């Protein structure tokens, strides 16, 4: 079926960076593009890819990031380049690049986000922020997602923020965001977008909370390392609750048995990245002394996904595009699931384009083990223009 002219999506599985960029460009190029968003494997030659993207999309606003896996028209893949373009006839977008996240402070972050909001209002003075969103792409190894997300959402007010932390194919060495022809680390990209089309942001996660309670009794918050849980070495106590030896802890078990924090009746996953040789655990989210966590068990991911998309269809119709940020922990879980093929089909059926992340952002909170995103519907909203 031919794509709607105002949104075009594509995915190249070419292993050569220059070829991948050319194939991607051929798939998404359209007249008068307001924005191009892309997600790419960190295994590409990023210098070559950056140069070719800048050449092909000269004069176009382009943002992107590296991933722990890509989602697009070719399915859930690794070592690919995927994304979408948005026509200026139906979308208005502004974007900015914030460097030096290690020195991030709230005043600078608030001024940055508010400046972009003023740019959007100047570009589209009649736009309605109720039908817009902010997209955050952030260095996934910066460990600064919590203050950045919280500050940006506070500055943006009613405009809801979603986003994802860039990955590097689960090497955990260096992640990148793309801005104005180059890939950068220790950086964040913020995009503000409004549309004539209906939008719905969403967050979904598939787990049930157990009664097993864990108290963080020793943690190094800046490094997201927990040394003790319930007064015992963290990996040993976590493994005991799973009924296994600490030596058998791995990424698949972390994905299947995440820990959750409850705030105001809402549960947020605090996913484990790795077990360390000294018996500590490194997390993907902020963690500190005194936090009370509960062990959670993964539920039916396919059913949860189908229910989520059913709600979206009921609200805005079959989506032209779902821009999704899906946790790498979910990717690991799906890889072991007998429903893997069907899950891929559901994502394809709903025109999902996105990436596997090292963390997700939803409104003002940095989370794990979730799928967050925005769905864009097919019908233009009515306006009151004279």
DSSP string, 256-290: HS-EEEEETTEEEEE-EEEE-TTS-EEESS---TT
What residues make up the domain containing 243?
207-298
Of 298, 323, 355, which closes a domain?
Answer: 298
Q: Let me know whether 29 and 139 are in one domain.
A: yes
Pairing of strands 352-357, 199-204: unpaired
Dihedral pair phi/psi, residue 205, rounded to 5°: -150, 145
212/200 same-domain check: no
Characterize 27-46 residue by residue with b for buried, 16 or more Cβ atoms within 10 angstroms of its Cβ, and e for exposed.
Answer: bbebeebbbbbbbbbbbbeb
Whole-angstrom distance, CA of residue 138 vs CA of residue 147? 12
pLDDT (0 to 100) of residue 382: 55
Which residues of the chain are under the pLDDT cut of 50? 1-2, 384-386
Residue 110's pLDDT is what?
A: 97
288/140 same-domain check: no
Query: HSE (CB half, 13 Å, CA atoms) of 12?
Result: 21
Whole-number pLDDT of residue 287: 87
Give pLDDT tens digits for 205-263: 888 888 899 999 999 988 899 999 999 999 999 999 999 999 999 988 888 888 988 87
CATH of the domain at 238: 2.40.30
In the numeric block, the tokens 């509960």 are attached to 294
DSSP letter at 4 equals: P
In a domain, 134, yes or no: yes
Beta strands in 47-90 (DSSP E): 62-67, 70-72, 75-77, 81-87
**Residue 111 within any structural domain of the chain:** yes
Same domain, 187 and 289: no
Does 74 share its domain with 109?
yes
Angle, in degrees to the nearest 10, between helices 106-123 and 145-156? 40
Q: Could you give the number of structural domains in the chain?
A: 2
Per-residue model confidence (pLDDT) at position 125 = 84
- Whole-number pLDDT of residue 129: 67
State the Cα–Cα distance between residues 193 and 164, nearest whole angstrom. Answer: 16
- pLDDT single digits (tens) 260-273: 888 777 778 888 98
């Amino acid at each position: 079926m031919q794509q709607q002219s105002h949104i075009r999506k594509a995915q190249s599985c070419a292993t050569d960076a220059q070829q991948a960029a050319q194939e991607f460009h051929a798939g998404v190029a359209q007249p008068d593009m307001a924005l191009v968003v892309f997600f790419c494997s960190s295994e590409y030659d990023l210098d070559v890819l950056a140069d070719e993207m800048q050449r092909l999309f000269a004069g176009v606003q382009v943002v992107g990031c590296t991933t722990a896996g890509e989602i697009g028209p070719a399915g859930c893949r690794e070592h690919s380049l995927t994304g979408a373009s948005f026509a200026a006839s139906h979308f208005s977008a502004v974007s900015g690049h914030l460097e030096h996240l290690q020195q991030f402070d709230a005043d600078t972050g608030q001024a940055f986000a508010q400046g972009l909001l003023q740019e959007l209002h100047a570009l589209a003075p009649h736009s309605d922020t109720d039908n817009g969103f902010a997209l955050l792409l952030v260095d996934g190894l910066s460990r600064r997602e919590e203050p950045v997300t919280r500050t940006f959402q506070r500055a943006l007010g009613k405009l809801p923020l979603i986003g994802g932390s860039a990955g590097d194919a689960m090497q955990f060495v260096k992640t990148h965001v793309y801005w104005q022809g180059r890939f950068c680390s220790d950086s964040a990209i913020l995009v503000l977008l409004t549309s004539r089309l209906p939008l719905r942001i969403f967050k979904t996660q598939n787990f049930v909370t157990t009664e097993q309670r864990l108290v963080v009794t020793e943690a190094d918050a800046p490094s997201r390392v927990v040394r003790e849980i319930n007064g015992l070495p963290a990996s040993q106590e976590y493994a005991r609750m799973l009924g296994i030896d600490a030596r058998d802890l791995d990424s698949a078990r972390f994905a299947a048995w995440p820990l959750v924090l409850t705030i105001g009746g809402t549960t947020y996953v605090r996913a484990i990245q790795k077990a360390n040789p000294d018996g500590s655990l490194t997390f993907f989210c902020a963690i500190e002394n005194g936090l009370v966590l509960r062990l959670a068990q993964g539920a039916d991911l396919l059913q949860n996904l189908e229910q989520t998309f059913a709600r979206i269809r009921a609200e805005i119709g079959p989506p032209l595009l779902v821009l999704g940020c899906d946790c790498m922990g979910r990717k690991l879980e799906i890889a072991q699931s007998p429903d893997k093929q069907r899950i891929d089909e559901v994502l394809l059926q709903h025109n999902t384009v996105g990436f596997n992340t090292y963390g997700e952002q939803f409104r003002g909170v940095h989370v794990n083990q979730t799928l967050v995103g925005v769905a864009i519907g097919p019908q233009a909203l009515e306006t009151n223009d004279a």
